[in-house]
Amino acid sequence: MGYVSSLGGIAVDYNSQDVKDQLISEGPFDVILDCVDTDLARWSDKVMGVWRNCVHVSLVSPMLRDTDRYGIPFGLLSTAVKYFDRSCRSFRNGRWFSYAYFMPNSQCLNQISDFIDNEKIKIPHVEKVYKFNEFPTAYDRCTLLHTKGKLIIDIAEEPIPPKIESPPPSSTISPYHPGTKSVPVIDLKPPPIHAEPAPVVA
């Protein structure tokens, strides 16, 4: 709570019994970034501005879960139905709803790096840095939830294994041309088959 306040944010305990009253007193909000898709996150549409072009972005799309459960065609259809239902309910109050998906983008990463260098973005709190060989331990810690910061996997210190080169093919010195090498040739032709002549019946 204190760390969030030190960053300039307003800390709200989502386990508090009056958490909805706290959000209502701090609202209305123009942008909601939903990372968990809980009942409280879905209720948070009610603390957004009305007809102010506000947007609710959810990082938890049901697409993977629905496609695993119903298959690709019906899973995509189920996701589309849920999206349009949520969007229509938001649109009635002049709001927008959208799912967001992650994708690798070098330009965005470089921009974030520039923001950090220019102190426009504060570096988040890091709970612990694990080495690459400690990945299972870091994963177990992550599954416990309620981490108090980011868990970092450091792969920079891991040595790169040496490249194993295959030995060159064996060769012999040619007796016909000194100073040159010749590779022995193996004849893979099958031996000839000597068939017995068939008897002649008069």
Strand order in the sheet with 31-34: 31-34, 54-58, 95-99
Q: Into which CATH architecture does domain 2-60+93-121 fall?
A: 3-Layer(aba) Sandwich (3.40)
Query: What values do phi and psi take at 43, rounded to 5?
Result: -70, -25
Domain ranges, ordered by start, for the chain: 2-60+93-121, 124-160
**The predicted structure's pLDDT at residue 41:** 86
What stretches in the chain show pLDDT beneath 70?
1, 157-202
Angle at Cα 31 formed by Cα 28 and Cα 32, nearest 5°? Answer: 95
Nearest 10 degrees: Cα torsion 82, 86, 87, 90: 180
Q: For residue range 133-167, list pLDDT tens digits in order.
A: 898 998 888 888 777 778 888 887 655 666 666 66
Cross-strand pairs, 117: none
The encoded tokens of residue 82 equal 């849920």
**The predicted structure's pLDDT at residue 38:** 85
Give how far Cα 34 sits from Cα of 76, 99, 198, Å: 21, 9, 89
Q: For residue range 28-48, list pLDDT tens digits in order.
A: 999 999 888 888 888 888 889
- Under 8 Å between Cβ of 132 and 158: yes
- Under 8 Å between Cβ of 48 and 30: yes
Kindly report the three-state secondary structure assignment for every residue of 61-74. Answer: CCHHHHHHHHCHHH
Checking DSSP bridges between strand 172-173 and strand 181-182, what pairing results, if any?
antiparallel
User: What sign has the CA pseudo-torsion 42, 146, 12, 122?
Assistant: negative
